Amino acid sequence: MRILDISQPLGSTTAVWPGDRAVEGGWSMRRAEGHSVNVATLCTTVHAGTHVDGPLHFEDDAPPVGALPLEAYLGPALVVDARGRAALDVDLVDEVDLGAAERILFRSRETVDARVFPERFAALTPELAERLAAAGVRLVGTDAPSVDPADSKELPAHRALGAGRVAILENAVLDHVSPGRYTLVALPLPLVEADSSPVRAVLLEGDAP
């Protein structure tokens, strides 16, 4: 079994959605200052780096991310090569057995630089989101900052996936991942007052333990 880390590094140089809170790290205790231990602090948006969007992100009456069932974020996953696309449309899954593909990750970018927010990225069309939800897919992931376009106000892909109870993973790093089948582990933190959560997302290549 090989572990492929598909997470963006989190730090002060990590790019966040324009207007969102930047990642700020610091220290509350340092051994060099006489404390017995080093203790780091972190202030960040929950959408920094690789993260899951919980339904509370786009629905006011949804549960916080810490109350969501974890099953969607752990299990078999299919990585689909979608590079070169202006948008992610239904033809990408025409030859995919969606009944067997519980989790789908779309690689839409050649490379991901966590320090730079992309000027353009390929989002899911509402038709693709609806098709995946109707097929019973449990999680949809992308290496882009959002499953919807940057200028979207209605968030049709988010809402279509949410209506089908499909989990959303964004800002994955798939530069080094070949198309194919893996085991995904991308568990959200048990945050009790948050809509979404950063994750340490990995793909397991080969037989999971």
Q: Provide the phi-psi class of 171: left if phi over 0, else alpha when psi is between -120 and 50, else beta.
A: left
Residue 27, amino acid:
W
**CA gap 44, 55 in Å, rounded:** 19
- The reported pLDDT for the residue numbered 208 is 55
| pLDDT mean by block of 10 residues, the chain; 209 residues | 96 97 97 98 98 98 97 97 97 92 96 96 98 97 98 97 98 97 98 98 81
pTM above the 0.85 mark?
Answer: yes
The pair of three-digit structure tokens given for residue 158, joined into one six-digit string: 């988010």
Q: Is 47 marked active-site? A: no
**CA gap 74, 72 in Å, rounded:** 6
Instruction: Identify the structural domains of the chain with CATH numbers, from first to last.
Output: 2-7+46-205 (3.50.30.50)
- The reported pLDDT for the residue numbered 207 is 59
> Which of 61, 72, 64, 58 lies closest to 158 in space, CA to CA?
58
> Which of 22, 29, 27, 64 lies closest to 43 in space, CA to CA?
22
- The reported pLDDT for the residue numbered 99 is 83
- The reported pLDDT for the residue numbered 54 is 98
**CA gap 191, 36 in Å, rounded:** 29
**CA gap 105, 72 in Å, rounded:** 13
- The reported pLDDT for the residue numbered 206 is 76
How many Cα neighbours within 13 Å face the side chain of 101?
Answer: 21
**CA gap 22, 83 in Å, rounded:** 28
- Which is catalytic among the residues 47, 51, 57, 158? 57
